[in-house]
Structure 1
Amino acid sequence: MRPETTIPVVRQIPTNRADVFAFTIEGHLTSADIENVYGLLEGAYEQHDKIDLLVRLDGYEGFDWNAAFKDTTLSMQTRSLKHIRRYAIVGGPTWIHMSAGLLKPFLSIEMKTFDSAEEAEAWKWIGAEAVKE
């Protein structure tokens, strides 16, 4: 019997700028995954007052709704708004693109969505590149 290997749902993408953070999300986000992402972002805010963020959603399968509305998650979301300059969302289901469009007028950050085929444009928009490890 082979041990099963699990691929992390959230993986950080190395970038060529210290103040740009990028993640790829594949699969279903659990409460632990959401807290992990916000933990990584909290570390980024300690080093940089403002950051740019790119999230790639290829293979995204949704998230635990209960986790999204926990007090700690809501607090982390609010804190993030103070530190993010630009937020690029690449890929994902149509409802995410529609939700982002509805939220844009109410947020202090610049947010833009891109189809998966437009990922190069998303990187250009935030002014960074992914680097190979």
Structure 2
Amino acid sequence: MLNLDTSAAPLFRITVTGVITREEVKAFYKEFHPALEQAGRVGLLVDLTRFEDIAAGAMFEDIVSEFGLLDDLSKMPRCAVVTGNRTIAGMIRYTAPLVPKMDMQVFDPEKAAEAEVWARDLPKDKRDLPGITMLDSGSPDVLAFEVEGYIDDDDVDKIVAPFRERIARGGKFNALARITRFGGFDPEIMFDKSLIGMKWDAVKAMHRYAIVTDSGWVTPFVGIARMVSNVDVKVFPVAAETSAWDWVREPIPSEAPVTSEVE
């Protein structure tokens, strides 16, 4: 069963229980589309604690319907998913950053109230947020930037240029990223040659990389980064931002190997 509760705007509660059929999916989206059009911008709270399975036809219907919502994702800047299923939670955490214009987070059932508060706290419209902003670190060996809102191709030059300049000077350096209200990114950025090249060279030149955020989806990607590079990556909660700055401002050991080469 799929139930849509729009009585607590700007929050839409979606409760999924049992085995979902194709007819239920079609009926849900028939109700959801006009409700979203009328509401304008909403946060989504999706409760999957009693979800069991979805029929093959229902899954296809859901995928098609979700593609139809791509142009409306900016109207749903936050989606909190409540589930105790580790497989579902893992899939959402890994795919969430690929969903443009929407910040998705997973919450355990015992944190359902926290999920509702987070989903209801809508960020400003992405057009009013800067995307990526370089920060003054106070050190030539620390590059810092803040991610706030939706990141599009216009943000690429903002970060590529200062990183390229630092890489060209040679030697190891540290970096800090503060992720506050992440609103997704344009998938085309993943294929931007200048960004890909800069990341490759930066990985060889960086010593430490601190990420300051309360967003849980970051953790799996940090694990991957640790496996494929020698960069020391740590995630700090927002409340511990001072510790993150102290960590990246520590002197870089002279014995730290410099393997960066601008290719």
Shorter-chain TM-score tier: 0.7 to 0.9
Equivalent of residue 37 in structure 1, options 159, 164, 174 = 159
* 2:203 is the counterpart of 1:81: yes
* 2:227 is the counterpart of 1:109: no
Q: Is the 8 A contact 2:129 2:148 kept in 1?
A: no
User: Which segments of 5 or more consecutive residues in structure 2 lack a partner in the other structure?
Assistant: 1-126, 251-263
Paired AA for residue 234 in structure 2: K
* 2:187 is the counterpart of 1:57: no
> 1:119 aligns to what?
241
Q: Is the 8 A contact 1:56 1:91 kept in 2?
A: yes
Q: 1:34 to 1:93 in 2, by over 3 A?
A: farther
Q: Deviations over 1:54-96 (max 9, x none)?
A: 0000112121122123333222211111111110011152111
What is the rounded CA distance, in whole Å, between the counterparts of 1:95 and 1:22 in structure 2?
Answer: 20
Q: Is the 8 A contact 1:31 1:68 kept in 2?
A: no
Q: Is the 8 A contact 1:19 1:48 kept in 2?
A: no
Q: Larger Cα Rg: Structure 1 or Structure 2?
A: 2
> What SS class does the counterpart of residue 94 from structure 1 fall into?
coil
Report which stretch shifted further, 91-100 or 103-112: 91-100
Q: Deviations over 1:23-81 (max 9, x none)?
A: 11110111121232011110111234221100000112121122123333222211111
What is the rounded CA distance, in whole Å, between the counterparts of 2:195 and 2:248 in structure 1?
Answer: 25
* 2:221 is the counterpart of 1:91: no
Q: Aligned Cα RMSD in Å?
A: 1.9
Q: Deviations over 1:91-112 (max 9, x none)?
A: 1521112211232122111111
What is the rounded CA distance, in whole Å, between the counterparts of 1:20 and 1:84 in structure 2?
Answer: 10
Paired AA for residue 155 in structure 2: D
What is the rounded CA distance, in whole Å, between the counterparts of 2:195 and 2:233 in structure 1?
Answer: 20
- TM-score for the superposition, normalised by structure 2: 0.44
> 1:9 aligns to what?
131
1:7 deviates by 5.0
> What SS class does the counterpart of residue 217 from structure 2 fall into?
helix
> 2:146 aligns to what?
24
Runs of 4+ with deviation above 6 angstroms: none
Q: How many residues align?
A: 124
What is the rounded CA distance, in whole Å, between the counterparts of 2:187 and 2:218 in structure 1?
Answer: 14
Higher relative contact order (CA 8 A, sep 6+): 1
- TM-score for the superposition, normalised by structure 1: 0.82
What is the rounded CA distance, in whole Å, between the counterparts of 2:172 and 2:179 in structure 1?
Answer: 23
Paired AA for residue 62 in structure 1: G
Equivalent of residue 100 in structure 1, options 222, 243, 255 = 222
